[in-house]
Amino acid sequence: GCIQLTEVLGVGAYGVVYRAFDMRTGVQYAVKALNKVGLEPRQRSFQEREIQLHHQVSQHPNVVSLVKVLDSPDCTFVVMEFCPEGDLFSRITEQGFYIGRDALAKNAFLQILEAVEFCHSVGIYHRDLKPENILVSSDGITLKLADFGLATQDYYTSDFGCGSTFYMSPECQQSNSRPNACYASAPNDIWSLGVILVNLTCGRNPWKKASMEDSTFRAYMKDRSFLKSILPLSSDLDHILSRVFDLNPAQRMTLPELKQAI
């Protein structure tokens, strides 16, 4: 076609993301090249699911828009809007952009909530919410959710260990050998949002993993005021986090409650 790939932006589990531009219009895009060669049918169906679920929510202003899908014999090219300012992770870690800027952090978090709430409203659960999968534009003011590679439409799932360890809920990490064991997808996303909220406001993670093997997490489960003693949290924020980081997924704060509390 008329789209030229210019440089590699990132390499993921399923393929490579390139910076590209349309030679006719000069518009820049991000293009995810998904390899089709030698894939098992299961992996192929994962790719199709990623594209289909992303397409379903792509019109939301806080989701990266999927422009079109181009097919070649050995590759599927997913053409998306390009966000030249990179991801939220580098904004937080390299630039400390939101630290001490409460209004900016609140605005950023509310946009992430809007995107996730929209996904949930159409029955799509992201399962890999983290700053690396949230892109930034308009000088850090606008945020857009990306990467639906692990997204699902299953309200209950038995995919344990799905996502990134720092952001996984405790129930998602249980390597359950029980037959028919499962956990709810929505509260798992909420837990990840809580960790992102700590990232935005404090510039770091609350723990390495939400498991009793982790000393910080263990201390927080024993004493709910522990996080406030090691992180610069306001009492309001500490209270919100205690509702988000509820070990019981059914008792965990819901998205509408979280939006209202913020």
What are the residues whose beta carbons fall under 8 Å from the beta carbon of 172, sequence distance 6 or more?
Answer: 160, 161, 162, 163, 183, 188, 191
67 phi, psi to nearest 5 deg? -85, -50
Other CB atoms within 10 A of residue 218 CB: 14
Whole-number Å distance between alpha carbons of 125 and 251: 18
- 195 within 8 A of 167, measured Cβ to Cβ: yes
Computed from CA positions of residues 134, 153, 113, 160, in that sequence, does the dihedral angle turn out positive or negative?
negative
CATH architecture of 88-261: Orthogonal Bundle (1.10)
Position 179 scores a pLDDT of: 66
Neighbours of 247 (CB within 10 A): 12
Rounded to 5 degrees, what are φ and ψ at 121?
-65, -25
DSSP H helical ranges for the chain: 41-57, 88-93, 102-121, 170-173, 185-202, 215-222, 226-230, 235-244, 255-261
Identify the residue whose tokens are 């379903």: 56
The answer to whether 152 and 127 have CB atoms below 8 angstroms apart is: yes
Residue 147's pLDDT is: 92
Give me the pLDDT at residue 176, please. 63
- For the entire predicted model, the pTM comes to 0.92
Report pLDDT digits (tens) over 28-61: 999 999 988 888 888 889 899 999 999 999 999 9
- 172-206 per-position pLDDT tens digit: 987 666 767 888 999 999 999 999 999 999 999 99
DSSP E strand boundaries for 105-180: 134-137, 142-145, 156-157
Supply 23's token pair. Answer: 């030679």
User: What amino acid positions are annotated as catalytic residues?
Assistant: 128
- Residue ranges covered by each domain of the chain: 3-81, 88-261
Residues (pLDDT < 70) of the chain are 1, 13, 175-177, 179
3-81 is classed CATH 3.30.70.260:
no
CB 222 within 8 A of CB 172: no
CA–CA gap between residue 137 and residue 63 (Å, rounded)? 12
**DSSP class of residue 63?**
B
Amino acid 36: pLDDT: 87
* Pair 54, 148: CB distance under 8 Å: yes
32 annotated binding-site participant: yes
